């Protein structure tokens, strides 16, 4: 689409001069707290989500440390149960669901569309504050008597346990609304604020991915909202919908929960697909292979994702017929996903590949997600899932897709857009080393868990048979390796923020619209409205690298 025009520079400077950007446009706390600018809201989201990630990560390390030996290592049963619950709930509700859409998406989506903002800036800010309130609720449970139900809140345990379930459930409920508002905003933005000339099939795939994600957010999240509300009411008043001792049906809760939470796993991964679709062509200097297939397959995944929730319940006593249907549709999801993987790999064919940090993360994603996805297929095979359900095999599966897939892509996207968002370059070498350590740590942590699981080690176990110890220790070592990788990355990015080299407009040679504006972008994003005359991955050959500015400029 984009002609990465240099002519934009020549346009009328804004009132505050040419180097005015959204970071310097206004100053002071209030200018951030009450900002309506999508980029600032995105940056606030980014900071918040990363802090939550660090917190969730600390809980993960505590969990892993406890599992170093069977029985007590550093904490008691109940504490352990609270640790993994908080770890799961924080990672899912606070980190990975808002992660890519609300943080990176908020910064990039309007830029991708050449728009000045999202459709409803106030709603956007409201969504951020809902996140904060939801987060405070979760923390409220954490510091009082932390919830110990597992992130799935299964009834009747959740309606009877003595711990503070209500603040945590309330937190998840509020975070749900935060997520709905983001999704709603993005759908309207994509429909109504595209510039002239940008047809649906000229949108970058990140936008396509956000669009599919937003559909799921809007259509699935209300159900978890009402479910959690019912659970809360059940706890307080003894409603009798889920708790069998009051006449309720606990399996109904599971249906409600997974009706949301399965689509939610695609809320986590589809934006990651979008990020990878942006990174791979740019760093291969080549048009994306099979653009339309990738675009449509996101929608297909979003749609099919609604019809498979029962695959989490093969052992719950649901009927054979229901199980069969859920299993069959689950397999269908493998197909659009396969299409994506193969198209990304093919994009590199005959490209000119630059192995910078974002690309390293994208490649790590490709391989690790393939493993995660394939193990998902193991779980979709009904007979096999009976054995694997609620074992570490499932834990390994979802960490491969969430940690190895979504978080890896998130980090890739963070590095990719970091120069654009903050106007600073990070240190390439540290970045690469960080990516490498994360990759190694990831596999070391979670691969042994596949073996644990298939050998019969159940999940959510504080204590375990001595036979499992060796593999658990490997996993713990891996977790600390991961920790070092993230710490290094965090330090590297932090240092870049403070004293990184100023970033050029277009350091990677991207051709989507965000690279046509300055880094960081001006308050209103574009000095002149960007023209859209071609597809989103056309025209790499029209850019040349200028060593003096360390970035790409249009060929003259």
Partner 1 sequence: MTLHLLALLAEPQLPKLAPSDSFWLPVDASVTSRNIDWVWDFMIWVSLLVTIGVFVAIFHFITKYKAKSRAANEIAEKSAEHNTALEITWSVLPLFVCIALFVWGFKGFVDLRTPPKEAMELHANAQKWKWTFDYKCATGGMTDDTLHVPIDRPVRMLISSVDVLHALYIPSFRTKMDAVPGRYTDLWFQATKAGDYPIFCAEYCGTSHSDMLSHVVVHPAGQYETWLKGACEKADSMVGPERGKKLYSQQGCETCHTIDGTPKIGPSWKGLFGKMEMMADGTPYKVDENYLRESMMDPTAKVVQGFAPSMPTYKGKLSDKDIDGLIEFIKTLK
Partner 2 sequence: MSEPSTETQAAKTASAPPPAAHEGHGHEDHGHEAHDPIHAANPHLAHHFDTPQQQFDAGKLGIWLFLLTEVLFFAGLFCAYTVYRSMNPEVFVYAHYFLDTKLGALNTCVLLISSLTAAWAVRNAQLREQKMLMINIVVTIACACTFMCVKYVEYSHKYHDGLLPGHNFQPKEQIWELKSFRDKHPEAAEYAEKLAKLDEKKAEAPAGGAAKPSEGKAEEKAEKIERPTEEELEPLLNAGLVGPRSLDPSAHISRPRMAHVFFGIYFFMTGLHGFHVLIGIGIWIWMLVKAAKGQFGPTYFGPIDFTALYWHLVDLIWIYLFPLLYLIH
CA distance 370 to 269: 12
For residue 529, state whether it binds partner 1 (rule: CB under 8 A). Answer: no
* Dihedral of alpha carbons 196, 201, 203, 209, sign: positive
Residues in the interface with partner 1 (CB under 8 A) total: 95
State residue 190 phi and psi, 5-degree precision. Answer: -70, -35
Residue 94 near residue 56, CB atoms below 8 Å: yes
Two structure tokens written together for 218: 């809007």
**Position 114 contacts partner 2 (CB under 8 A):** yes
Let me know: does 330 contact 380? Beta carbons within 8 Å.
Answer: yes
Task: Pick the binder of partner 2 from 20, 26, 427, 538 (CB under 8 A).
Answer: 538
Beta bridge partners of 501: 425
Which of partner 1, partner 2, ligand HEA, none binds 193 (CB below 5-8 Å, type-dependent)? Answer: partner 2
Gap between the Cα atoms of 24 and 297, Å rounded: 40
Size of the site for partner 2 (CB under 8 A): 69
Beta carbon of residue 238, minimum distance to partner 1 (angstroms, whole number): 14
Is residue 121 a contact residue for partner 2 (CB under 8 A)? Answer: yes
From the list Cu ion, partner 2, ligand HEA, none, pick the one residue 399 interacts with, judged by a Cβ distance below 5 to 8 Å according to partner type: ligand HEA
Residues in the chain: 556
DSSP, collapsed to helix, strand or coil, labels residue 544 as strand
Q: Is 324 in the site for partner 2 (CB under 8 A)?
A: no
What is the C-alpha to C-alpha distance for residues 115 and 1, in angstroms, rounded to an integer?
A: 14
Which residues are registered as beta bridge partners of 424? 502
The answer to whether residue 358 forms part of the interface with ligand HEA (CB under 6 A) is no
Binding mask 148-177 for partner 1 (x = CB under 8 A): xxx---x-xx--xxx---------------
244 binds, among partner 2, partner 1, ligand HEA, none (CB under 5 to 8 A by kind): partner 1
Applying CB under 8 A, does 443 fall inside the site for partner 2?
no
By CB under 8 A, what part of segment 405-444 binds partner 1? Answer: none
DSSP-derived 3-state class of residue 323: helix
User: How far is residue 449's CA from residue 291's CA, in Å, rounded to a whole number?
Assistant: 35
Q: Which is nearer to partner 2, 188 or 384 (CB)?
A: 188
* 68 Cβ contact list (under 8 Å, min separation 6): 472, 473, 476
Q: Is 229 in the site for partner 1 (CB under 8 A)?
A: no
User: Which residues, numbered 478-507, are part of the site for ligand HEA (CB under 6 A)?
Assistant: 479, 482-483, 486-487, 489-490, 493
The piece of 216-224, 399-407, 506-514, 523-531 that touches ligand HEA (CB under 6 A) is 399-407
Name which of 376 and 478 has its Cβ closer to Cu ion.
376
Per CB under 8 A, 202 contacts partner 2: yes
Site string for partner 2, 283-322 (x = CB under 8 A): ----x---xx------------------------------
* Interface with ligand HEA in residues 6-45 (CB under 6 A): none
Q: Which residues bind Cu ion (CB under 5 A)?
A: 262
Q: Where are the alpha helices (DSSP H) in 163-249?
A: 165-192, 205-237
Measure the CA–CA gap between 113 and 124, rounded to whole angstroms. 17
81 or 182: CB nearest partner 1: 81
Return the residues of window 243-302 that contact partner 1 according to CB under 8 A: 244-245, 249-251, 284-293
CA 197 to chain centre: 30
Of 99, 175, 103, 17, the closest CA to residue 406 belongs to 99
395 token code pair? 């834990």
Contact between 530 and 513 (Cβ < 8 Å): yes
Distance CA 83, CA 519 (A): 41
Query: By C-beta, is 360 or 414 nearer to partner 1?
Result: 360
> Which residue carries 């003894």 as its tokens?
238
* Dihedral angle sign, alpha carbons of residues 443, 449, 454, 455: positive
Which lies closer to Cu ion via its Cβ, residue 25 or residue 262?
A: 262
Q: Distance between CA atoms of 490 and 434, rounded to whole angstroms?
A: 9
61, 132, 239, 334: which one contacts partner 1 (CB under 8 A)?
334
Give the distance from CA 259 to its chain's centroid: 19
Binds partner 2 by CB under 8 A, chosen from 13, 244, 247, 494: 247
227: nearest Cα among 248, 251, 258, 256: 256
Tokens, residue 542: 């029209």
Q: Does 219 bind partner 2 (CB under 8 A)?
A: yes
Residue 289's CB is within 10 A of a number of other CB atoms, namely: 20
167-196 binders of partner 2 (CB under 8 A): 180, 184-185, 187-189, 191-193, 195-196
Task: Enter the tokens of residue 104.
Answer: 């990176």
Tell me which residues in 117-156 interact with ligand HEA (CB under 6 A).
Answer: 150-152
Q: Interaction with partner 2 in 1-20: which residues (CB under 8 A)?
A: 2-3, 5, 7, 12
Among 318, 430, 473, 542, binds partner 2 (CB under 8 A): 542
Selected binder of ligand HEA within 60, 170, 174, 276 (CB under 6 A): 60
Tokens 């809360």 correspond to what residue?
232
Q: What are phi and psi of 521, to 5 degrees?
A: -70, 155
Cβ neighbour number for residue 119 with a 10 Å cutoff: 18
254 binds partner 2 (CB under 8 A): no
Asked whether the beta carbons of 112 and 207 are under 8 A apart, the reply is: yes
Residues that bind partner 2 (CB under 8 A): 2-3, 5, 7, 12, 114-121, 123, 180, 184-185, 187-189, 191-193, 195-197, 199, 201-202, 218-219, 221-223, 225-227, 230, 233-234, 237-241, 246-249, 252, 256, 287, 291-292, 524, 526, 528-529, 531-535, 538-539, 541-542, 554-555
Q: Give contact residues for ligand HEA (rule: CB under 6 A).
A: 50, 53-54, 57, 60-61, 63-64, 84-85, 87-88, 91-92, 95-96, 150-152, 265, 268-269, 311-312, 330, 333-334, 337-338, 341, 370, 373-374, 376-377, 379-380, 385, 389-390, 394-395, 397-399, 401-403, 405-407, 445, 459-461, 475, 479, 482-483, 486-487, 489-490, 493
């Amino acid at each position: 689409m984009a002609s990465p025009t240099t002519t934009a520079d020549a346009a009328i400077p804004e009132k505050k001069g040419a180097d005015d950007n959204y970071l310097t446009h206004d100053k002071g706390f209030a200018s951030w707290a009450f900002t309506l600018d999508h980029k600032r809201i995105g940056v606030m989201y980014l900071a918040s989500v990363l802090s939550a990630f660090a917190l969730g990560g600390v809980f993960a390390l505590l969990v892993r440390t406890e599992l170093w030996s069977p029985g007590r290592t550093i904490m008691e049963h109940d504490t352990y149960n609270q640790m993994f619950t908080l770890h799961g709930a924080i990672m899912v509700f606070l980190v990975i669901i808002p992660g890519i859409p609300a943080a990176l998406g908020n910064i990039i989506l309007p830029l991708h569309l050449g728009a000045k903002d999202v459709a409803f800036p106030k709603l956007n800010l409201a969504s951020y504050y809902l996140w904060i309130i939801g987060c405070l609720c979760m923390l409220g449970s954490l510091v009082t008597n932390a919830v110990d139900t597992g992130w799935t809140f299964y009834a009747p345990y959740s309606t009877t346990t003595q711990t503070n379930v209500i603040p945590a459930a309330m937190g998840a409920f509020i975070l749900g609304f935060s997520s709905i508002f983001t999704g709603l905003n993005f759908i309207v933005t994509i429909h109504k604020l595209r510039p002239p000339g940008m047809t649906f099939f000229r949108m970058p795939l990140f936008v396509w991915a956000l669009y599919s994600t937003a559909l799921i957010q809007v259509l699935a999240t209300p159900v978890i909202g009402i479910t959690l509300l019912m659970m809360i009411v059940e706890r307080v008043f003894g409603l009798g919908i889920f708790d069998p001792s009051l006449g309720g049906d606990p399996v109904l809760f599971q249906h409600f929960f997974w009706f949301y939470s399965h689509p939610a796993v695609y809320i986590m991964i589809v934006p990651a697909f979008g990020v990878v679709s942006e990174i791979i062509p740019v760093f291969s200097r080549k048009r994306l292979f099979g653009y339309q297939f990738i675009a449509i397959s996101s929608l297909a995944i979003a749609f099919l994702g609604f019809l498979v929730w029962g695959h989490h319940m093969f052992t719950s006593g649901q009927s054979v017929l229901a199980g069969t249907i859920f299993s069959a549709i689950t397999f269908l999801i493998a197909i659009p996903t396969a299409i994506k993987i193969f198209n990304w790999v093919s994009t590199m064919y005959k490209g000119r590949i630059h192995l910078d940090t974002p690309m390293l993360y994208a490649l790590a994603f490709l391989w690790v997600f393939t493993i995660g996805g394939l193990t998902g297929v193991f779980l979709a095979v009904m007979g096999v899932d009976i054995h694997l359900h609620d074992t570490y095999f499932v834990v390994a599966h979802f960490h491969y897709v969430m940690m190895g897939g979504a978080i890896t892509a998130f980090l890739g996207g963070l590095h990719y857009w970091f120069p654009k968002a903050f106007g600073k370059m990070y240190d390439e070498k540290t970045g690469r080393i960080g990516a490498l350590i994360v990759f190694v740590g990831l596999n070391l942590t979670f691969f042994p868990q596949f073996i644990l699981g298939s050998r019969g080690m159940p999940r959510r176990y504080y204590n375990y048979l001595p036979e499992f110890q060796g593999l658990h220790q490997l996993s713990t070592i891996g977790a600390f390796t991961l920790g070092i990788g993230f710490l290094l990355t965090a330090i590297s990015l932090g240092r870049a923020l403070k004293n990184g080299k100023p970033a050029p407009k277009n350091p990677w040679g991207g051709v989507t619209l965000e690279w046509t504006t300055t880094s960081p972008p001006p308050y209103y994003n574009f000095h002149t409205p960007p023209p859209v005359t071609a597809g989103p991955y056309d025209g790499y050959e029209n850019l040349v690298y200028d060593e003096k500015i360390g970035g790409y400029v249009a060929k003259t």
